């Protein structure tokens, strides 16, 4: 069971109850739910999540959640989330002694995988909250998902899926290990973080008013948008680096999706190297076929975006817009070196060299 600390103090004639934050330490899956309901500071130490089970942590308002130890799980083939954390005004962080270990090598299958049967790692639904100082290793599938959150500050996150690179893992390499998936956040700042993975470093799928700053991405598919429906606006990627990646910048709208808009997007001071597919890919024809204007892209600025490419498939710009689908694009100080194939350009807005 978890420990509870309660201090009651007496002052003069009036009785003042000072309840020092009820502090609890939990290492058993079965104890988490009750502890989350009563504890102001909930510390998770070494804990194993049972197979095919989601560890749901519904924090008290204003609580702190501390990871201190090794969080892991019993491996099974399934597609749920390993951890879901909800709360308002909460602070979530790890100590120097923690590791969120996704046991990726026991899940990854490389190319030989007809259907994905791998759990996603951490899903947060938070309001007015902070997530800081977390270390994730070897996510089985997507790493961090921020779903329906508001006013969220995320800093100093280290996602290390180095073991999933084909050159390290062999045929059972990792796939779909997105670093940050933003399913819908209004008011989000993600900063000072490192993502070493095998899919998007960041993928924005919904929401507005977001800043991503000082991210360092390695091995990824880039700083991305992937939009099927809804309106996404006011998103900035600033002062970040993308290395050994398929793409540096990737904006895709789904031609088989519903309707929406993508606007007021800024990429500023983005540096990249060893990009082997597209330095900048903007496509209104995802996943394939004709570009459609169901989700127009407007007011997109790339400012000081520079770097180099490698490999025979490398292309500096792929800009595939539907007729009237893209407008108000501004590229300032955009430089790509080393591209080996010709740009692909359809319905590119005026003023953009493609
Ligand atoms: C980044 O990726 C490259 C290529 O896979 C690898 O050689 C390098 O060690 C990685 N860097 C880090 C910090 O993991
Ligand atoms: C265009 O986007 C920028 C951010 O890149 C924003 O500052 C500006 O207000 C937007 N312009 C309009 C007309 O909304």
Q: Is residue 331 part of a domain?
A: yes
Q: Is residue 265 part of a domain?
A: yes
Under 8 Å CB-to-CB from 191, ≥6 apart: which residues?
Answer: 154, 155, 211, 212, 213, 214, 215
Q: Is residue 337 part of a domain?
A: yes
- The residue-averaged pLDDT of 28-38 equals 96
Residue 20 has pLDDT above 70, yes or no: no
**Residue nearest ligand 1's atom 10 by CA:** 218
Average pLDDT, the chain: 94
Q: Is residue 45 part of a domain?
A: no
Instruction: Give the position, in ligand 2's atom list, of the atom nearest the Cα of 265.
Output: 5
Nearest Cα to Cα of residue 163 among 155, 173, 150? 173
The Cα–Cα gap between 76 and 267 comes to: 39
CB-ligand 2 contact for 299 (6 Å cutoff): yes
CB-ligand 2 contact for 301 (6 Å cutoff): yes
Cα separations in angstroms, 335 against 24, 61, 312, 354: 53, 47, 19, 12
Radius of gyration in angstroms for the set of CA atoms belonging to the chain, rounded to a whole number: 22
Please state the domain count of the chain: 1
The Cα–Cα gap between 152 and 147 comes to: 11
- The residue-averaged pLDDT of 290-313 equals 98
The total of other beta-carbon atoms located within 10 Å of residue 350's CB is 7
Instruction: Give the position, in ligand 1's atom list, of the atom nearest the Cα of 219.
Output: 2
Q: Is residue 143 part of a domain?
A: yes
The Cα–Cα gap between 160 and 181 comes to: 16
The Cα–Cα gap between 158 and 132 comes to: 10
Can you give the three-state secondary structure of the chain, one letter per residue? CCCCCCCCEECCCCEECCCCCCEEEECCHHHHHHHHHHCCEEEECCEEECCCCCEEEECCCCCEEEECCEEEECCCCCCCEEEEEEEECCEEEECCCCEEECCHHHCCCCCCCCCCCCCEEEEEEEEEEEEEEEEEECCCCCCEEECCEEEEEEEEEEEECHHHCHHHHCCCCCCCCCCEEECCEEEEEEEEEEEECCCCCEEECCEEEEEEEEEEEECCCCEEEEECCEEEEEEEEEEEEEECCCEEEEEEEECCCCCEEEEEEEEEEEEEEEECCEEEEEEEEECCCCCCCCCCEEEEEEEEEEEEECCCCCEEEEEECCCCCEEEEEEEEEEEECCCECCEEECCCCCCCC
Task: At 217, list the tokens.
Answer: 């991405």
The Cα–Cα gap between 236 and 191 comes to: 12
What is the pLDDT at residue 23?
Answer: 74
**Residue nearest ligand 2's atom 8 by CA:** 264
**Residue nearest ligand 2's atom 14 by CA:** 264
pTM: 0.94
The total of other beta-carbon atoms located within 10 Å of residue 48's CB is 14
Q: Is residue 242 part of a domain?
A: yes
**Residue nearest ligand 2's atom 6 by CA:** 264
CATH number, domain with residue 333: 2.160.20.10
Q: Report CA 99 to chain centroid distance, whole Å.
A: 18
Instruction: Give the position, in ligand 1's atom list, of the atom nearest the Cα of 162.
Output: 14
- The residue-averaged pLDDT of 174-195 equals 97
Q: Is residue 284 part of a domain?
A: yes
Only one residue has tokens 């259907």, namely 115
Angle in degrees, CA 116, 120, 126, rounded to 5: 150
Residue 145 has φ and ψ, to the nearest 5°, of -115, 125
What is the pLDDT at residue 21?
Answer: 57
Measured in Å, residue 197 CA sits from the centre of ligand 1 at 10
Measured in Å, residue 298 CA sits from the centre of ligand 2 at 10
Q: Which domain holds residue 162?
A: 75-82+102-346
Q: Which of 167, 244, 275, 311 gets mutated to test ligand 1 (max ligand atoms within 8 A of its CB)? A: 244
What is the pLDDT at residue 6?
Answer: 40
Q: Is residue 61 part of a domain?
A: no
Q: pLDDT tens digits, residue range 224-265? A: 999 999 999 999 999 999 999 999 999 999 999 999 999 999
Q: pLDDT tens digits, residue range 108-159? A: 999 988 899 999 999 999 999 999 999 999 999 999 999 999 999 999 999 9
| Through-space distance between the first and last CA atoms of the chain, rounded to whole angstroms | 63
Residue 2 has pLDDT above 80, yes or no: no
CB-ligand 1 contact for 276 (6 Å cutoff): no
Instruction: Give the position, in ligand 1's atom list, of the atom nearest the Cα of 194.
Output: 13
């Amino acid at each position: 069971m978890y420990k509870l600390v309660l201090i009651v103090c007496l002052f003069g004639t009036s009785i003042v109850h000072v309840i020092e934050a009820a502090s609890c330490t939990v290492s058993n899956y079965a104890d988490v739910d009750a502890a989350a309901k009563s504890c102001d500071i909930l510390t998770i130490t070494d804990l194993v999540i049972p197979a095919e089970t989601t560890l749901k942590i519904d924090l008290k308002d204003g609580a702190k959640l501390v990871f201190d130890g090794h969080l892991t799980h019993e491996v099974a083939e399934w597609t749920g989330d390993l951890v879901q954390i909800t709360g308002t005004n909460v602070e979530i962080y790890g100590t120097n002694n923690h590791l969120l270990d996704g046991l990726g090598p026991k899940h990854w299958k490389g190319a030989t995988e007809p259907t994905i049967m791998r759990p996603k790692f951490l899903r947060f639904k938070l309001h007015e909250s902070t997530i800081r100082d977390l270390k994730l290793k070897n996510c089985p599938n997507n790493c961090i998902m921020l779903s329906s959150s508001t006013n969220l500050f995320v800093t100093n996150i280290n996602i290390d899926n180095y073991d999933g690179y084909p050159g390290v893992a062999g045929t059972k390499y990792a796939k779909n290990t997105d670093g940050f998936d933003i399913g819908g956040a209004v008011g989000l700042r993600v900063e000072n973080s490192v993502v070493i993975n095998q899919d998007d470093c960041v993928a924005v799928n919904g929401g507005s008013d977001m800043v991503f700053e000082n991210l360092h991405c390695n091995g990824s598919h880039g700083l991305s948008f992937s939009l099927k429906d809804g309106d996404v606006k006011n998103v900035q990627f600033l002062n970040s680096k993308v290395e050994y990646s398929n793409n540096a910048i990737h904006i895709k709208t789904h031609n088989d999706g519903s309707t929406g808009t993508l606007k007021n997007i800024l990429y500023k001071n983005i540096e990249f190297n060893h990009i082997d597919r597209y330095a900048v890919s903007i496509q209104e024809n995802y996943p394939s076929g004709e570009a459609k204007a169901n989700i127009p892209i407007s007011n997109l600025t790339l400012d000081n975006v520079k770097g180099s490419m490698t490999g025979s498939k490398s292309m500096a710009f792929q800009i595939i817009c539907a007729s009237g689908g893209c407008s108000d694009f501004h590229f300032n100080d955009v430089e790509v070196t080393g591209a080996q194939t010709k740009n692909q350009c359809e319905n590119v807005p005026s003023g953009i060299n493609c």
